[in-house]
Structure 1
């Protein structure tokens, strides 16, 4: 039987590097959609924005086009921590599974690995998540209440100075919970969709189609948890005690559909981000294998 033992393996550290780079590249493209999603979730109780397009128009009119990139430094930091951790850890798990069982992961194995990868990434990336939410929502606060962080480093320094180091992990529980759900669905389904679509597509077409389906499923499953995370990280008065408290209060006061408030911009943000992240990751991995390892085979994410 043919053996793959002779092939050089992708170094573990490159799995983390490629994962982080892919996430950062995708973030540069979808940052405006992330801002719209966050603004709509925060303003759900005030009805400030009628739709995603209304939010886009109002932000552009009152704050200018550069406002769509408020918090970009925090967004890139989040990808450099959260996505590096989750993508790298998942690839390491995936590679270990294939080497041990000499077969692609099953559906439940992929989901389990996605859960672990999400938890690891979320713990690492929570400080950047807090800074990102605050920076993107700052311009809608009254001038006297704005934090006016200069960049993500300034945000970290001032949060620790004014609120203590534990404030960087505010909302960590819902963040980890959301990340576990997101990665269970996103990473697990991507692997499965790649296997299912393999006989019909190849290369970029395969990666894009699998990522698009993965992005849709992930959006539906994670939206309520993302909304809870955003509300907790933005709050000042201790209005919410935790994730379940947010979900219960929002359902009671605003209706169950409010749990999916901002679904369109969230899908428009998470869908393309999923697609671009996986495409960039696949291409970065393929390029490293070809240039450094002399291996022209497709990646096995």
Structure 2
């Protein structure tokens, strides 16, 4: 029953946030697929040419991916730490192990939907049916799994580890056990910024491998090296591999703000139930 409750909370969170998050996911993916374009001009021209609904291209696979992801994420985020706390006392170590465990499981679960979503978003007039007609699912479903696994690992460890760290610091500073919603929102925003900085190059490599007209036979480092070698300045190298960071950071802040507060409420709820 607890697992079902946590899953329901996760799915509800997805339904509420997806209309706001998806346009940023679409723009970020397009900018990563075409890293030399001006992101702001691209958005304006894309909307002028195709209308506002173009921002919701790939909504179906993204909605399925996010709903499925949140359905199992919240139970794992709540219950994995409870398991690890039985033999580990350090909370940061508990959260790090939780992040590693979820990342290893999640990478293989969401990769096919990530591949489908990215391909549709970057393909001219593509449909889900067209993808299955053109692609051998057995060979194509897990394209980009390497950078995705790296990305998920870093993302989960930084998200859970940084969230735990900042919550402990805030509780120590404010001298209270339960934080206000406004304090959780601030923590969520800070974690979102850190998370974005940590995962952007890996997210860029994943998009290049999963997009329409994907790069053939390239590893994560091979993708990054191809673009880095073409740039003369260090700023140019960073700008390319972090393409779309402006839109990703908005996504992460929305996601982290909602997830941090919900996770805190769920954790408190299950702790109180365990005591009663």
With the shorter chain as reference, the TM-score category is: 0.7 to 0.9
- Answering whether residue 202 of structure 2 is matched by residue 225 of structure 1, we say yes
Contact kept? 1:17, 1:88, Cα under 8 Å: no
Name 2:153's counterpart in structure 1: 180
Aligned mate of 2:33, from 36, 42, 56: 42
- Partner Cα distance (1:28, 1:135) in 2: 18
After superposition, residues 127-276 of structure 1 pair within 5 angstroms as 127-138=112-123, 141=124, 146=125, 148-149=126-127, 155=128, 158-166=130-138, 167-199=140-172, 200=174, 202-236=179-213, 238-254=215-231, 255-257=236-238, 258-276=240-258
- Answering whether residue 6 of structure 2 is matched by residue 15 of structure 1, we say yes
Contact kept? 1:82, 1:122, Cα under 8 Å: no
Name 1:84's counterpart in structure 2: 71
Q: Are residues 181 and 20 of structure 1, via their aligned partners in 2, closer, same or farther at CA, if it must alter by over 3 Å?
A: farther
Deviation of the 1:275 alpha carbon: 1.4
Deviation of the 1:239 alpha carbon: 3.5
Give ranges in structure 2 of 5+ residues lacking alignment. none
TM-score normalized by the length of structure 2: 0.84
Contact kept? 2:193, 2:249, Cα under 8 Å: yes
Contact kept? 1:36, 1:265, Cα under 8 Å: yes
Aligned mate of 1:97, from 84, 108, 112: 84
Contact kept? 1:31, 1:72, Cα under 8 Å: yes
Q: Are residues 159 and 30 of structure 1, via their aligned partners in 2, closer, same or farther at CA, if it must alter by over 3 Å?
A: same
1:84-117 residue CA offsets vs partner (Å, 9 max, x unmatched): 333332221112234x1596x5223312211211
TM-score normalized by the length of structure 1: 0.77
- Partner Cα distance (1:20, 1:180) in 2: 22
- Partner Cα distance (1:228, 1:237) in 2: 11
Contact kept? 1:240, 1:246, Cα under 8 Å: no
Name 1:68's counterpart in structure 2: 55
